[in-house]
Structure 1
């Protein structure tokens, strides 16, 4: 007897194919891109903000407060006329010293008691006064540089002298003033060595145009001293020159120089007049911009 054994075959397990969850990965990617974009935008914003702040800092304009120094100048002038004037008379010297109390601190009053000796051989009168500069040291103190002219008389001899000094003035909240530093010898400003470069014809204006402009300016400057505002409008635009109403006689143009750029001509010219009131020659220097439409006109 045969026994038949049947073997059941085990089913073959199929391997699962790996899958990627697209939804979750896409959210992560989007988040990373968003963070990157925000970082870039923030960086650009900070960069532009920094540039703007830097530019604002560099171009900041400090407004200067205009200070009226007329009161200080007048006070120093009045003081100087008392301080630098004296007489030999003891009585007049005492009165001078009393008047100086209106200008000097008590300390400076004591300092100046022996400025003019009782036996001084000279008399002095102030005949000129000129302020060169007023410098504000702080909110209440000013330094004044000035020159005073004196006529000094000794016996039968008289001479004129000029001296330069500086003083310090204190101004309180109520506007009252006092001299806090005695007149101290100083240096008078001197003539500068600067010489401007003189203009010269550069050939941009031809001979015919030069003749036209010479004729125009000759005519204009003959009329200019007495021209009314209405008459000026025929020769001048944009109120380039004002009415002067003077009794001058035109003589000539001196060394006119013309240069042209586009349709405009720059005229640098000295105009010689005879002043009928003073009888002197008046030499006026002009730098004008001319333009020709139908006729030549001064536009600046």
Structure 2
């Protein structure tokens, strides 16, 4: 009996125990997977919502900046052109001309425009050189005007003297719906001052005199061709054979005043600073010029990789020793 009961009990245990354990493990595993999936989806959804919101806001900020920058660039360009045109008319006057009528094309009809007087002045050129924003659609445009005065000794004009000078003004401009108006009379300003900046010379150990002489001869030929030759002739000296437009004999090379060659990034490359003098083919006047160049030597020939203006304050990064 005991054996049978024991056997029966073992059989029941044998049936129930594995079934119970298996069912619990599956349920727990399923719950864990389910809740993990739910939490993952919830947090992913929240993250996506916030990321989407932040990305959308960032894009709106970028778009607003681009639109504002585009508007300001366009207005500055167009207002400067409008101020230049106005300045040419404002500083062109001769007794008896239609001065007042011409200025009405630029200024409010309510403003009274007076003739300057009995003298004579002619604007030769007007160049804007700066813009200051006063409000969202108002700006002051700085203009340099080159003028010629005709000065007579008496009313009959027996003796006439002509004098040229530069006048600097600030023109108050308003923009409205893509159109412009000079709101008020321009004011005379002082000549702009130059920046208080020093000069930094490039200093490094140069190449030996033999290499420097070789490079000098090459650059003399190059600049002779640059000032007098065609793009095809100049390309002979250029490393990638790119076409560079020359001066076509409008100016001529007089001489190389100074050639300083330095070792470049590799053993066959050179950095060169050149000062030279050129002659105006029309007037015969001489002018000094300055360049810095990068040269490369291949197959016993020197080629110009690039060249740029400036011999001082060069933006050159030297390698650390």
After TM superposition, is the score higher than 0.5? Answer: yes
Structure 1 residues 271, 55: closer, same or farther in 2, change over 3 A?
Answer: farther
Partners of 1:23 and 1:289 lie apart in 2 by 80
Structure with the greater alpha carbon radius of gyration: 1
Counterparts of residues 193-212 of structure 1 (less than 5 Å): 193-203=196-206, 205-212=207-214
Provide the residue aligned with 1:183 in structure 2: 186
Counterparts of residues 110-125 of structure 1 (less than 5 Å): 112-113=113-114, 123-125=119-121
Cα deviation, residue 51, structure 1: 11
Q: Report the secondary structure of 1:220's partner residue.
A: helix
Q: Is 1:266 matched with 2:264?
A: no
Structure 1 residues 79, 141: closer, same or farther in 2, change over 3 A?
Answer: farther
Structure 1 residues 52, 171: closer, same or farther in 2, change over 3 A?
Answer: closer
Provide the residue aligned with 2:225 in structure 1: 223
Q: Report the secondary structure of 1:272's partner residue.
A: strand
Provide the residue aligned with 2:86 in structure 1: 76
Structure 1 residues 171, 255: closer, same or farther in 2, change over 3 A?
Answer: same
Partners of 1:186 and 1:202 lie apart in 2 by 48
Cα deviation, residue 297, structure 1: 0.6
Partners of 2:228 and 2:166 lie apart in 1 by 41
- Give the paired residue count: 274
Counterparts of residues 125-136 of structure 1 (less than 5 Å): 125-128=121-124, 129-134=126-131
Partners of 1:218 and 1:104 lie apart in 2 by 56
Counterparts of residues 49-88 of structure 1 (less than 5 Å): 50=51, 57=58, 60=62, 62-63=65-66, 64-65=69-70, 66-67=73-74, 68-69=77-78, 71-82=81-92, 85=93, 87=95
Cα deviation, residue 207, structure 1: 4.5
Provide the residue aligned with 2:252 in structure 1: 248
- The answer to whether the 8 Å contact 2:83/2:171 transfers is no
Provide the residue aligned with 1:146 in structure 2: 143
Partners of 1:144 and 1:274 lie apart in 2 by 37
- The answer to whether the 8 Å contact 1:130/1:147 transfers is yes
CA RMSD of aligned residues (A): 4.4
Q: Report the secondary structure of 1:103's partner residue.
A: coil
Tell which deviates more after alignment, 290-299 or 189-198: 189-198
Identify which of 258, 268, 275 aligns with 2:280.
Answer: 275
Tell which deviates more after alignment, 212-221 or 30-39: 30-39
Partners of 2:148 and 2:57 lie apart in 1 by 54
For structure 2, which runs of at least 5 residues remain unmatched after alignment?
Answer: 155-159, 307-321
Provide the residue aligned with 2:316 in structure 1: none
**TM-score, normalization: structure 1?**
0.68
Provide the residue aligned with 1:97 in structure 2: 100
Q: Report the secondary structure of 2:264's partner residue.
A: strand
Cα deviation, residue 181, structure 1: 1.6
- The answer to whether the 8 Å contact 1:264/1:290 transfers is yes
Partners of 1:243 and 1:50 lie apart in 2 by 55
**TM-score, normalization: structure 2?**
0.65
Partners of 2:232 and 2:135 lie apart in 1 by 51
